Amino acid sequence: MADWRSFWDGEHAIYVNDRHKAVHYGAIADGILAHVEAAGLGKAAVVLDYACGEALETPRVAAAVGRLVLCDGAPSVVAKLRARFGGLANLAFALPEDLDGVLAAGTADIVVVSSLIQYLAADDFVALLDRFRVILKPGGRLVVADVIPPDAGMVADVASLLRNAMRHGYLPAALVGLVATAVSPYRRIRSEIGLSTYAEADMVALMARHGFVAQRHRPNLGLTPHRMTFVAHPAV
């Protein structure tokens, strides 16, 4: 059986073309910057983008904050990030196992985790919550985005893809991509392992058990409005 970390570390066609990828990462950057603004920290903010992927809008985000740490579980992705953005002075890179050497306990103002926890087992997710609780400052903000509710299946994902493709001008590529996805490793792994889902009340309660006061935030960060974002702060 394959695993999600190996999938994201290899070659994949999860984005139907470069336009789709650019729109995706643009929306993620917009969301991160909106949370930086909401926190009222501006260029003083220390931000961790956890499971950041290719983070194509890194220069725009880095220019708006004091320090930006990009962390991803795929070594090949981190290597590409270093090669592309290594010249930015307020930027750091890390694999999850190396993060403690890059970002000390109690130093992050904002931690953003987008489109990750659906790929994690429950035990791995709660371990990550505990880790973020240590990394964040006492008044810090944890943003967990793209959480899949139990009643949202692949049909909702397909509808979201097509709506965004129509809006942003890559509909033909999206239709071709849907056919390719049907026989892709992504579809096979999703069928074998599945995706983790959480109801809103269950997520709030789970985060409370691990030291956070959380609530759902609208809209969801990114391009999938049927999914959920939660904003949490360490409990006093």
Q: Which two tokens stand for residue 175?
A: 């239709």
CA distance 131 to 92: 18
Q: What is the model's pLDDT at position 163? A: 93
Q: Which of 221, 216, 219 is nearest to 232 (CA)?
A: 216
Q: What is the model's pLDDT at position 68? A: 98
pTM of the model: 0.89
- For the purposes of burial, counting CB atoms within 10 Å of the CB of 1, is it exposed (0-12), middle (13-18) or buried (19 or more)? exposed
CA distance 222 to 85: 22
C-alpha distances in Å from residue 225, one per residue of 124, 178, 202: 25, 19, 19
Q: What is the model's pLDDT at position 14? A: 76
Q: What is the model's pLDDT at position 131? A: 97
* Run means of pLDDT, 10 residues per run, the chain, 236 residues: 55 79 96 95 94 97 98 94 96 96 97 94 95 96 96 84 91 82 59 80 98 97 95 94
Q: What is the model's pLDDT at position 157? A: 85
